[in-house]
Amino acid sequence: MINKEKGVIANESYAETDDYITRTYVMPLLFDEESRRKLISEHRNSPVGTAPSNGRAAIEHSHDLRKVLDKLRRAPMAGKYVTVCVRMFEKYKIGIVSGIRGVPVDIQEEVYSSEEACEHAIFLKRIANLMNHYS
């Protein structure tokens, strides 16, 4: 049987809008080598940002990095990278979500010593995948 879902049921409008936003506002930031280096450096320095505490100001991501992160967050769950805590404050790995409830996360072999290092590795993988998709 052929799937003939169209329009709202197939979510075509969302997909087309997301694609337009990605091509217009996100990919120019990533295809420009200098811009991409700055975004990667900023993310490496503060993968998750920090909330204000004890009189210290919050560390917020730049507008451009927020654009890229927002795009990465809109990706479907199937195939999405996640941080897996193996041993709190010591050992983290990258997992790949199946997108199917009840199917376990596929945990990769590489080990990271901090949650931030793992988050940054995920960011680099997502950027590479996005660039391959839009190249």
The string of pLDDT tens digits covering residues 93-129 is 999 999 999 999 999 999 999 999 999 999 999 999 9
- For the range 31-39, what are the long-range contacts, defined as Cβ-Cβ under 8 Å and sequence gap of 24 or more? 31/131, 35/64, 36/127, 38/64, 39/64, 39/65, 39/68
10-59 pLDDT per residue, tens:
667 788 899 999 999 999 999 999 999 999 999 999 998 777 777 777 77
> Is it the case that residue 3 has pLDDT exceeding 60?
no
Buried b vs exposed e over 25-53: b needs ≥16 C-beta within 10 Å? ebbebbeeeeeeeebbeebeeebeeeeee
Percent of the chain predicted with pLDDT > 70:
91
8 band by pLDDT with thresholds 50, 70 and 90: low
User: How high is the mean pLDDT of the chain?
Assistant: 91
Helix, strand counts (H, E) of the chain: 6, 3
Domain ranges of the chain: 7-50+59-134
Mean per-residue pLDDT, 63-87: 95
